[in-house]
Amino acid sequence: MDSFNARVYRAVAKIPEGKVATYGLIAGLAGSPRASRQVGWAMHGSPRGLRLPCHRVVNRTGALAPEGVFGGRDVQRAMLEAEGVTFLGDGRIDMRKHLWEPDVEA
DNA sequence: GGTTTGACCCGTT
DNA sequence: CAACGGGCCAAAC
């Protein structure tokens, strides 16, 4: 699996609990920081067998994906809160604290 | 092999 | 401060 989306799956799977990564960040780990759109598309077409923490992947503003993807924004928010992620009053993630920083990633 | 799309990002109006 | 458009990249049709 040398496909770009394959690397996206692996990068997303590396996201530790209690943290969140932006599409742009995942795209960067995949090899193309500008292919942020591809990241989201890759997850939508990702194999159901894999349990990718797609709920930990959010856009740059910290806003969650549109409804209908996870079954509702509230669902995704609940999953993140259950992992220890804090949210702002606007319904956005506190990127300041939970933005994943891949420094010495394996 | 060309066209369309897509869970985005950034700048401008 | 909110809305609109253009740009990028990679996969599906």
pLDDT value at position A104?
61
Would you say residue A34 lies in a domain?
Answer: yes
Would you say residue A15 lies in a domain?
Answer: yes
Q: Whose CA is closest to A65, among A29, A92, A100, A99?
A: A92
**Domain region containing A35:** 4-98
Give the CA dihedral A35, A1, A45, A81, nearest 10 degrees.
Answer: -80
For tokens 């759109």, name the residue.
A37
Tally the domains of chain A. 1
CA of A36 to C1' of B6 (A): 10
Tell me how long chain A is: 106
Percent of chain A with pLDDT strictly greater than 70: 92
Q: What is the pLDDT of residues A46-62, one digit of tens each?
A: 766 678 899 999 999 99
User: What pTM was computed for the model?
Assistant: 0.90
Would you say residue A103 lies in a domain?
Answer: no
Which residue type is seen at A18? G
CA of A39 to C1' of B5 (A): 14
Which nucleotides in chain B have some atom under 7 angstroms from a protein Cβ? 5-10
Would you say residue A67 lies in a domain?
Answer: yes
Nucleotide nearest to A54 (CA to C1'): B7
CA of A6 to C1' of C3 (A): 35
Q: What is the pLDDT of residues A66-105, one digit of tens each?
A: 887 888 888 889 999 999 999 988 889 999 899 998 876 5
The CATH number of whichever domain residue A82 belongs to comes to 1.10.10.10
pLDDT value at position A24?
92
Would you say residue A104 lies in a domain?
Answer: no
Strands annotated E in chain A:
21-22, 57-58
Position A13 pLDDT exceeds 60: yes
